[in-house]
Amino acid sequence: MKNSMKFEFPARSENEKLARTVCAAFVLGLDPTIDEVDEIKTAVSEAVTNCIIHGYDGGGGMIEIEAETDGRDVTYIIRDSGCGIEDVKKAMEPLYTGKPDSERSGMGFSIMEAFMDELRVESSPGRGTVIAMRKRISEDDG
């Protein structure tokens, strides 16, 4: 089954729930397990929170999410036009946080990696960040 969607919203914390709920609803046609839905919601929430806190530094801007399904694969592309990441490798290290004073756990990218099958991060300082995450939804054995 092929399907696609695209939506954008202001980078405000109240939209984190909107983003993860829409992304989870998008995949329901593939009959995912509850765990798979939870994993997608958590990974999307991490990506969107990063855009708000780090990309725009709480200052606002727009976040765009594109998603598509191809067979049993679902891909989410989450894009901001914020400040970008200078050192992507460092940002992806477990427990690293660019905001040590804000009670951030530094687990965002580790969670995205653990809960999705593939994670790609493209970023350049001053030009924003694009996160692409793919997950294979298990075959419906019912």
Partner 1 sequence: METMLIAKQRMLVMRLRGEIDHHTAGGIRKQLERELKMSGAVNIALDFKEVTFMDSSGIGVIIGRYKTVRALGGSMVIYNASEQIRRLLDMSGIRRIAVICSTLSEGLNIINSGKAIR
- Give the full edge-to-edge strand order of the sheet including 118-124: 2-10, 62-70, 73-80, 128-136, 118-124
Contact between 111 and partner 1 per CB under 8 A: yes
Question: Which residue number, 30 or 39, has a Cβ lying nearer to partner 1?
Answer: 39
Residue 3 a catalytic site member? no
Dist CA 140 CA 142 (whole Å): 6
Q: Which amino acid is at 116?
A: M
The minimum distance between CB 139 and partner 1, in angstroms, equals 21
The minimum distance between CB 77 and partner 1, in angstroms, equals 19
Q: Which position among 12, 72, 104, 136 bears the catalytic label?
A: 104
Residue list 113-132, contact with partner 1 (CB under 8 A): 114
Percent helix, percent strand, percent coil in the chain, to nearest 5: 35, 30, 35
Does residue 10 sit in helix, strand or coil?
A: strand
Residue 93 a catalytic site member? no
Judged by the rule CB under 8 A, the positions of this chain that interact with partner 1 are 13-14, 16-17, 20, 35, 38-39, 41-42, 45-46, 49, 52-53, 102-108, 110-111, 114
Residues marked as catalytic: 46, 50, 104
